[in-house]
Amino acid sequence: MQYRAWFSCVAGCPGQHPLNEVLYRCPICGALLEVTHDEEGLRSRSAAAWMRLFDERYLRTRWPYGSGVWGKKEWVQPHIADENVVSLFEGGTNLFWAERYGKQLGVEDLWVKQCGTSHTGSFKDLGMTVLVSTVRQMRAEGKPIRAVACASTGDTSAALAAYGAAAGIPVVVLLPANKITAAQLIQPVANGAMVCSLDTDFDGCMKVVQRLTDTSKGDTGIYLANSMNSLRVEGQKTIAFEIVQQFDWEVPDWVLVPGGNLGNVSAIAKGFLEMQRMGLIAAPPRLVCCQAAQANPLFLAYERARAAGRDMSLDDFEAVQAQPTLASAIQIGNPVSLSKAVKAIVETRGMVLQATEEQLAHAVARADRTGLFSCPHTGVALACLEQLIESNTIQKQDRVVVISTAHGLKFTEFKAGYHRETLGFESRLANHPVSMTGDPEQAVGELHRLLDDYEQAN
Ligand SMILES: *Cc1c(COP(=O)(O)O)cnc(C)c1O
Ligand SMILES: [Zn+2]
């Protein structure tokens, strides 16, 4: 095989572990693992040749390369045989030019990467295709894996259940009871997963799944699908590739992404930094991790470091008890990918910001009025964008990309609450449906009155 990749320790311990080994942490020090690629092998093609190849494959039909993830297969998981790839044509998502919203905020070059416009409605599909394909190959090799399991704030379990069902691999999902939306709950139910609703929060579910998949307690045969499993990061890093590809290989100035467990911000940084090392781009954009003020441990660490006038480090971090937030998928107080995220922010000259419930809801309402249909997590990033424009950190001519992490249709309770004005703060852009009798004359009269009001207000 010309291209090779392996697990290595993020803390720098020696050792290359095969990607088909059941291993989630460094066997020497217990730190997270990451997938390292043989960059000498990748250099057998020039940067220009890689970009040409990626463009030739992009959204075409030749299996499995039309997938946004598998079109970069050599950089993602080169050891998977094509027949073991479990792909639902993930990636290739719209880069929405937010022209009207940008104009209202005072930036001219604003884009929203619609990662939620995908098979299960969130960016989690990008990582799950890599993980489930690897599991399918391990099972084909005779490894005794009975099931794949995850703890989830809703979207990970939806993605795992769909990819598992497509491959015929049993799936176990552990969900915090009453903390996910109806749409998110019905997804793994419909896909036939074993759905467990636990009387705890996400951090509590994470403890259970770690015990369930703990290889030191004897080989349990249940494979862990949380983002601590660095195979998922490899799929998610293709967000970075796609963004520059969609800009004809130009790099934006800023990328804003909501962060909870911090796998995605780490993945996006890894994508940009690998492209930089391999000569596809000159430098990464500045990455901004956007947290809900209700669940903001990375923000607090960043502020501690900033107050002391130095770069953030792991010593600045303290876990918090995450409080309920409308951005339920990022209600996480002790993020698993912390060490990778700290590195991601420092190496991209990035920042960490936070948004309150009212700020995120208002940002969503404002963006939706210009044709978007954002989820509350994307709202956190939009609210942070508004802050950075206000403080003149992001300037009028800067090219900005906001990562939209899920489809708004998964979060209709949140939107309904906003427009019914039941969220507990002022819904400045509430839009109330108007009841009518069905009598045409009455309807016409009423509508013209509504249009008069609209024209006066705008
Ligand atoms: C998982 C998720 C996030 C958070 O991503 P992390 O990698 O955990 O930081 C944000 N938004 C949505 C909609 C998600 O599903
Ligand atoms: Zn180690």
pLDDT at 233: 97
Is 121 touching ligand 1 by the criterion CB < 6 Å? no
Domain span at 364: 95-121+233-416
Question: How far is residue 418 from each of residues 424, 425, 428, measured CA to CA in Å?
Answer: 9, 9, 9
Ligand with smallest separation from the Cα of 126: 1
Which pLDDT does position 122 carry in this prediction? 98
pLDDT for position 1: 53
Q: Three-state DSSP class for 222?
A: strand
Distance CA 388, CA 405 (A): 20
- Best mutation site among 117, 120, 122 for ligand 1, i.e. most ligand atoms within 8 A of its Cβ? 122
pLDDT tens for 302-316 read 999 999 999 999 999
**pLDDT over 90 for what percent of the chain?**
94
Question: What tens digit of pLDDT does each residue of 388-403 get?
Answer: 999 999 999 999 999 9
The span from the CA of 61 to the CA of 63, in Å, is: 6
Domain assignment present for residue 411? The answer is: yes
Rg (CA), the chain: 22
Q: Quick check: is 62 in a domain?
A: no
260 Cβ closer than 6 Å to some ligand 1 atom? yes
Residue 373 lies in a domain: yes
Q: Is 263 in the pocket of ligand 1 (CB under 6 A)?
A: yes
When pLDDT is averaged across residues 369-385 and rounded to a whole number, the result is 98
Q: Are 236 and 123 in contact (CB under 8 A)?
A: yes
Counting ligand 1 atoms within 8 A of each CB, the residue from 117, 118, 155 with the most, and so the one to mutate, is 155
**pLDDT recorded at residue 227:** 81
Q: How far apart are CA 172 and CA 225, in angstroms?
A: 10
| pLDDT(220) > 80 | no
**Mean pLDDT in residue range 72-85:** 98
What's the CA-to-centroid distance between 261 and ligand 1, angstroms?
7
- Across residues 417-446, what is the average pLDDT? 95
| Predicted pLDDT of residue 280 | 98
- Nearest 5°: the CA angle 312, 316, 320 is 125
Protein residue with its CA nearest to atom 2 in ligand 1: 329
Q: Whose CA is nearest to atom 12 of ligand 1?
A: 405
Q: Is 375 in the pocket of ligand 1 (CB under 6 A)?
A: yes
The pLDDT tens digits of the residues spanning 243-260 come to 999 999 999 999 999 999
Whether residue 317 is predicted with pLDDT greater than 60 in this model: the reply is yes
Query: Minimum-distance ligand to the CA of 23?
Result: 2
CB of 259 shorter than 6 A to ligand 1: yes
- Give the DSSP H or E segment for 57: helix 47-57
CA-nearest residue for atom 1, ligand 1, is 329
**Long-range contacts for 100-104 (Cβ within 8 Å, ≥24 apart)?**
100/370, 100/371, 101/366, 101/367, 101/370, 101/371, 101/372, 102/400, 104/366, 104/370
- β-pair type (95-97, 33-37): unpaired
Average pLDDT over residues 11-38: 96
Mean pLDDT for the stretch of residues 378-395: 98
| Closest-approaching ligand to the CA atom of 28 | 2
Report the distance separating Cα 76 and Cα 50, nearest Å.
13
pLDDT at 215: 78
CA distance linking residue 150 with residue 366, whole number of Å: 34
Is residue 76 domain-resident?
A: no
Are the C-beta atoms of residues 166 and 190 closer than 8 Å to each other? Answer: no
* 47 part of a folded domain: no
DSSP-assigned letters across all residues of 64-114: TTTSTTGGGHHHH-TT--GGG----------EEE-HHHHHHHT-SEEEEEE
Per-residue pLDDT band for 441 (boundaries 50, 70, 90) equals very high
Tell me how far apart the alpha carbons of residues 452 and 161 are, in angstroms, rounded to a whole number: 49
Whether residue 364 is contained in a domain is answered as: yes
Would you say residue 292 lies in a domain?
yes
Closest ligand 1 atom to Cα of 406: 13
Distance 33 CA to ligand 2 centre (A): 8
In this model, does residue 179 exceed pLDDT 90?
A: no
Mean pLDDT (the chain, rounded):
96
- Look at residue 160 and tell me whether its pLDDT is greater than 70: yes
Give the pLDDT of residue 390.
98
Residue 272: CATH number of its domain:
3.40.50.1100
Ligand 1 and 352: CB distance under 6 A: no
Q: Count of CB atoms within 10 A of residue 49's CB?
A: 10
Taking 70 as the threshold, does the pLDDT of residue 225 lie above it?
yes
358 part of a folded domain: yes
Residue-level pLDDT at 153? 87
Distance CA 226, CA 204 (A): 14
**How large a percentage of the chain has pLDDT more than 70?**
100
Total domains present in the chain: 1
